[in-house]
Amino acid sequence: MIPAWKDIQNTLCRKCIDGDGSGRCRLPVDEECALQRSFLQVVQTIQRVNSSNFDDYALALRRDVCASCMYQDAAGMCQRRDHLECALDRYFPLVIEIIEKELETT
Ligand code: SF4
Ligand code: SF4
């Protein structure tokens, strides 16, 4: 099954330090969650990798998502990543787990 954003809201957002504990996001209005903004791209990336090696997913994340993210600079650096402010990067193993589980559901 193709994962939906609500699958993330019902699981990861409830645990996210930027959430209110019940799935609602508490990021300031002028900040965007990179996971939410790039959700479809994240799903497609994880679906494409399909590996038992986490490094393959991490590499694909940097190449397919971070490379087109407004928070990454021309040198490939990201202040949000460096300060653990990106939920996608912070919870990436859990994101993989949630999305892979949904993809396996027929
Ligand atoms: S920052 Fe992203 S993952 Fe965290 S609660 Fe907000 S929308 Fe969910
Ligand atoms: S780690 Fe940085 S560049 Fe990558 S998705 Fe998150 S905010 Fe964007």
Q: Can you tell me whether residue 65 is helix, strand or coil?
A: helix
Q: What does the pLDDT look like over 56-77, one tens digit per residue?
A: 999 999 999 999 999 999 999 9
- Ligand 2 centre to CA of 106 (Å) is 31
Nearest CA-CA partner of 18 in 6, 2, 3, 29: 29
Task: For the chain, give the percent of residues with pLDDT over 70.
Answer: 99
Q: What does the pLDDT look like over 28-59, one tens digit per residue?
A: 999 999 999 999 999 999 999 989 999 999 99
Pocket of ligand 2 (CB under 6 A): 34, 65-66, 69, 71-72, 78, 80-81, 86, 88-89
Query: For residue 89, what are its two tokens?
Result: 């990067």
- Ligand 2 centre to CA of 32 (Å) is 11
pTM over 0.85: yes
Query: For residue 49, what are its two tokens?
Result: 């990798």
